[in-house]
Structure 1
Amino acid sequence: MFTTTILHSLSALCVLLIIIGFGLWLSSKGMFDAPKSRLIVSRLVNTSIPCFLFYSVISKFSQEQLLNLLKFAGVPFLTVAINFIISLILVRTPLVRPHLKGTFIATFSAASVLFVGVPLVTTMYGSDGIPYLLVYFFANCVFIWTIGLYNIQLDGVRKGGGEIPKLISKESARKFFSPPLIGFMLGLSAVMLSVPIPKFIETSTRYLGQLTTPLALIFVGITIYHIGFDKLKHLPREVWLVLLSCFLIRPLTMYFCTMPLDMEPLMRKCFILGSALPVSTVFAVLAKTYGGDEEFASETIGASTVGMIAVLPILLIAVNLI
């Protein structure tokens, strides 16, 4: 069993690295030098993901299975909350500079569940693992558009003054209901209410959803190329703390929270993989928009994305041995 697990993990790793490497190679040939061309790939992924999530839910789960899944929906919220508390402790120490506090809290706790998590879980476990990943995605999404956004806005207030932002606002609520989340919730509603899905919609969402994994991995390769490895040679200590969170604190927190629970092994594995993903790319945009430290947010995204490649062999083998 141990040998089989190792071989399966290495096989999945090779698939991931080949497609990511393809994105790197395309970028090295100048095919994605223009921001507009990279934006096209990003938008294609963002368009295909809602279809992928909708089809994954309606095709893989019955009402009974969904109810069983939702019994454990609180676990990702608990682990995100624990990571948030750890980040609050760290920002009260000299390890985190005052002007980075809010952006540090946000990047320490939230992951890039869709762009990286979906292709990773699909490669490892097929579409069977996606609904479990989506439970973590929901908790992660709630954190980003409430506590994460709020703390980044606080950085802007510290820097330029102004009113203290609200934890929940109309704008954060509007952004919370993103197309991927809507696709996920429509799938849940269709299953729970036994709504018959026309065959042409089911087939269309399946075909469009199949674009997600390769395009997302190619986009990761493009991102890594344009970040450049030189920028990652001299990282500030706060970035190293975020990397420690991504690849050690978050997955260990999830492991210890799920081990006492009687849940399916695949659910536990997907939860742990979901927690061990790079920093969400949305934080660079939020930092730029609301006065947080955009350079720091970009450094955490770049370093964690590149770092993921380095830790993937250990991560995949460790998760599959659980």
Structure 2
Amino acid sequence: MYALISFALSYAVAYLLVWIFKIRPGRKGTFINVVANANTIFIGLPLNVALFGNKALSYFLVYYVMNTISTWAVGALIIANDSPEKQGNAFNWKKLLPAPLIGFLVALVFLLLALPVPEFATSTLTYVGNLVTPLSLIYIGIVLSDAGLKSIRFDRDTIVALVGRFIFTPAIMLTLLVLGGDILGHLPHLEAQTLAVQAATPALAVLPILVNQAKGDVKYATNVVTTSTLLFIVVVPIVNMVATALL
């Protein structure tokens, strides 16, 4: 419930910021995803293990599952329907179920029903799945190489997105953890710290690929992913320190 409410409030804040700062089409989807969704598996997992050890892994998985559902059921859909090209008011139902979400749902069925999966299928799908984040980072590197490192910009849209990712979203989670105990139930200290730290991880590495498919602003997506990945090194220790003091 903490994770669910946190994501819902983060989307609300992201849409409010889009309206206040008049983020243009082609960037809206990226902006909302940067504020609401985190790079949990590539950066969040090793970070969590380094900070809290394997004993906090089950707590991490709670946030990871919610982040995965949020990314592929909501975030990817927002990006797919955010294009600078005029598409009218028709909703694109074909993009309601992106392939990663279908894969997640199928895997969930196998997990809940304890259905056996052949070893060759498990190995093959694991190898393919492990390529996603590295390929995303290679793609980001290619775009940066073409544009040059000087293309990294801290323009208004980038700064506001980073503020949302590193200040608003962790603040929402911390506020829920501090004030929501009487309503939602108090969490173990380690679990509360895990949720707080995961809320401050960088933007999704796959954003530029999703934005490219939607014909959005790929340079902006690459810029916010790169800058958030660089800045999180400074932000996460601060968030962890604040979480330790408050929780």
State the TM-score, normalized to the length of structure 2.
0.76
Q: Is the 8 A contact 1:116 1:220 kept in 2?
A: no
Q: Per-residue deviation at 1:93?
A: 2.0
Q: What does residue 161 of structure 1 align with?
A: 87
Q: Are residues 124 and 90 of structure 1, via their aligned partners in 2, closer, same or farther at CA, if it must alter by over 3 Å?
A: same
Which among 252, 256, 260 is matched to residue 171 of structure 2? 252
Q: Per-residue deviation at 1:110?
A: 0.6
Supply the distance in 1 between the matched residues of 2:109 and 2:177 (Cα, whole angstroms). Answer: 24
Q: Per-residue deviation at 1:182?
A: 7.3
Q: Are residues 131 and 220 of structure 1, via their aligned partners in 2, closer, same or farther at CA, if it must alter by over 3 Å?
A: farther
Q: Are residues 296 and 115 of structure 1, via their aligned partners in 2, closer, same or farther at CA, if it must alter by over 3 Å?
A: same
Q: Are residues 271 and 187 of structure 1, via their aligned partners in 2, closer, same or farther at CA, if it must alter by over 3 Å?
A: farther
Q: What does residue 313 of structure 1 align with?
A: 237
Which among 157, 166, 170 is matched to residue 238 of structure 1? 157
Q: What does residue 54 of structure 1 align with?
A: none
Q: Which runs of 5+ in 1 are unaligned?
A: 1-73, 213-217
Q: Per-residue deviation at 1:246?
A: 1.7
Supply the distance in 2 between the matched residues of 1:83 and 1:238 (Cα, whole angstroms). Answer: 17
Q: Are residues 229 and 269 of structure 1, via their aligned partners in 2, closer, same or farther at CA, if it must alter by over 3 Å?
A: farther
Q: What does residue 227 of structure 2 align with?
A: 303
Supply the distance in 2 between the matched residues of 1:176 and 1:114 (Cα, whole angstroms). Answer: 16
Q: What does residue 284 of structure 1 align with?
A: 208
Q: Per-residue deviation at 1:112?
A: 0.3
Amino acid at match of 1:143: S
Q: What does residue 134 of structure 1 align with?
A: 61
Which among 89, 98, 101 is matched to residue 176 of structure 1? 101
Moved more, 298-307 or 220-229: 220-229
Q: Are residues 167 and 272 of structure 1, via their aligned partners in 2, closer, same or farther at CA, if it must alter by over 3 Å?
A: farther
Q: Are residues 305 and 131 of structure 1, via their aligned partners in 2, closer, same or farther at CA, if it must alter by over 3 Å?
A: same
RMSD over aligned Cα atoms: 3.5
1:90-139 residue CA offsets vs partner (Å, 9 max, x unmatched): 11123523442232222221110100000000001111112111111122
Greater Rg over alpha carbons, structure: 1
Q: Is the 8 A contact 1:95 1:237 kept in 2?
A: no
Which among 101, 112, 116 is matched to residue 39 of structure 2? 112
Which among 1, 4, 13 is matched to residue 86 of structure 1? 13
Amino acid at match of 1:145: W
Supply the distance in 2 between the matched residues of 1:289 and 1:308 (Cα, whole angstroms). Answer: 27
Indicate the SS of the match to 2:176.
helix
State the TM-score, normalized to the length of structure 1.
0.60
Moved more, 262-271 or 289-298: 289-298
Q: Per-residue deviation at 1:167?
A: 8.6
Q: Are residues 138 and 310 of structure 1, via their aligned partners in 2, closer, same or farther at CA, if it must alter by over 3 Å?
A: same
Amino acid at match of 1:231: S
Identity of aligned residues (%): 23
